[in-house]
Amino acid sequence: MMMLSACVAGWARLTASPESNGRAALFGALAGLAVLARSDVGLIIGVLSLWLILKKRWTAFAIAMVAAVAVVAPWFVWSWQRVGTVVQSSAAAIPSLVAYRIQSGGDVWGSVLFPIINYSFRYLIIYPGVALIALIVGALFVRVGRVRLTSARAARLWLPLARALLIVFVHTFVRWYPRGWYFAPLAWGAALVAGPTFAAGLAAPIGKRFGVWVAVALGLIVIGQSIKMIGQPEYKWQSDMRAGAEWLAQNVSGDETVGAFNAGIYAYYSGRRVLSLDGLVDWDAIEARQEKRLLDYFVERGGTLIIDHEAYAIGSFSPFFGARTLEPITQLPTLDGTYGPIVVYRVK
């Protein structure tokens, strides 16, 4: 978000001035850094660059693109030479699993598509949160008071918000895998346009009368939501994964290799070597899954035990196991039942 903010700030400085090679190069360099931070931010940068084309600022566009390529090229070249792709494995690991479920048929709408669309719809409201409320209230004040909404310069700030919505669209209806953090640019973009819109609304007579009370109400909402978030962790089932990591630390020797389909917590808190069988950080695991020899791959890497939620191990990944099977050897007590119990398996 810091790099996205810096990139949009660089773009705003460039678009507010006559032709400036230095500002164009700065925007391009910041755009490259933003893409390295999160590749889907490139969708936002694409719209900002398109604005330069529509305004026929060809020189600025060319300089910005050269600067952006100069920043990202070393990493892309290195990545291609080392792993044969410039796409991060996390971008392909789970979406390909969802694609398999869609292609397999069955109740695709009820079990896959509708829950994904519903998730995105909820987070379209939850993540912008207070900024969205301020934007709506400010727009109503502007409408009732019939005041000028924004300057032409401030109006351009709607472009990052529009492109943030495009990011959500792609993750929802193309990749079919929206996650909460994909909505962070949307929250930032909503805040970016909420500022000038709410400020314009405060200049209207109705805004001068009720603006202070609205601001106080928004502050109370922020405080209340913060207290709720601190008291109610979003991913409650991760406490069970922590318990699974403690079991590994007590029952698995340091020279053994364990597997998990969501490996981070198990590896970090157990101090054991845990293979990422979902492929989030392992292209070889993705390829083994595509070949339906995932457990063979695990055994080839020296693995013996697999630990994870039953819903992950059996419900999601079992079609890719191949000839081998999993034998449950113990089930751990759990506090949250979202994904079923934590089970330790032995590969047979």
Asked if residues 156 and 51 have their Cβ atoms less than 8 Å apart, the reply is: yes
pLDDT of residue 246: 95
Task: Give yes or no: residues 96 and 225 share one domain.
Answer: yes
Number of domains forming the structure of the chain: 3
pLDDT of residue 152: 58
Task: Give yes or no: residues 170 and 282 share one domain.
Answer: no
Domain termination residue (choose one: 204, 231, 258): 231
Task: Give yes or no: residues 221 and 298 share one domain.
Answer: no
How many angstroms separate the CA atoms of 198 and 203, rounded? 9
Task: Give yes or no: residues 108 and 217 share one domain.
Answer: yes
Asked if residues 144 and 155 have their Cβ atoms less than 8 Å apart, the reply is: no
Task: Give yes or no: residues 130 and 227 share one domain.
Answer: yes
Task: Give yes or no: residues 214 and 99 share one domain.
Answer: yes
- Name the one residue in this structure whose structure tokens are 């990591």: 245
The one-letter code for the residue type at 97 is L
Task: Give yes or no: residues 198 and 265 share one domain.
Answer: no
Task: Give yes or no: residues 130 and 221 share one domain.
Answer: yes
Structure tokens, 299: 């055994």
Domain termination residue (choose one: 54, 83, 112): 83
Task: Give yes or no: residues 303 and 318 share one domain.
Answer: yes
Task: Give yes or no: residues 126 and 217 share one domain.
Answer: yes
Asked if residues 94 and 56 have their Cβ atoms less than 8 Å apart, the reply is: no
Domain termination residue (choose one: 231, 258, 285): 231
Per the structure, the complete domain to which residue 304 belongs is given by 238-347
Task: Give yes or no: residues 303 and 191 share one domain.
Answer: no
- The neighbour count for residue 131, using CB atoms within 10 Å, is 22
**What sign does the dihedral 83-87-88-93 (CA atoms) show?**
negative
How many angstroms separate the CA atoms of 284 and 286, rounded? 5
The continuous run of DSSP H or E covering 327 comes out as strand 326-332
What is the full per-residue pLDDT of the chain (348 aa) written as tens digits?
899 999 999 998 898 888 789 999 999 999 999 999 988 888 888 888 888 898 888 999 999 999 999 999 999 999 899 888 888 888 878 888 888 888 887 788 888 899 999 999 999 998 998 999 998 998 888 888 777 665 656 677 888 888 889 889 999 998 888 988 899 999 999 998 898 888 888 888 898 889 889 999 999 998 988 888 887 777 888 989 999 999 999 999 988 999 999 899 999 999 999 999 998 888 899 999 989 999 999 999 999 999 999 888 888 888 999 999 999 999 998 888 788 889 999 999
What's the pTM?
A: 0.80
Nearest residue to 269 (alpha-carbon basis) of 289, 291, 240, 290? 240
How many angstroms separate the CA atoms of 309 and 263, rounded? 11
pLDDT of residue 149: 63
How many angstroms separate the CA atoms of 50 and 100, rounded? 35
- Name the one residue in this structure whose structure tokens are 């959500």: 168
Task: Give yes or no: residues 113 and 206 share one domain.
Answer: yes
Provide the CB-side half-sphere exposure for 247 (13 A, CA). 20
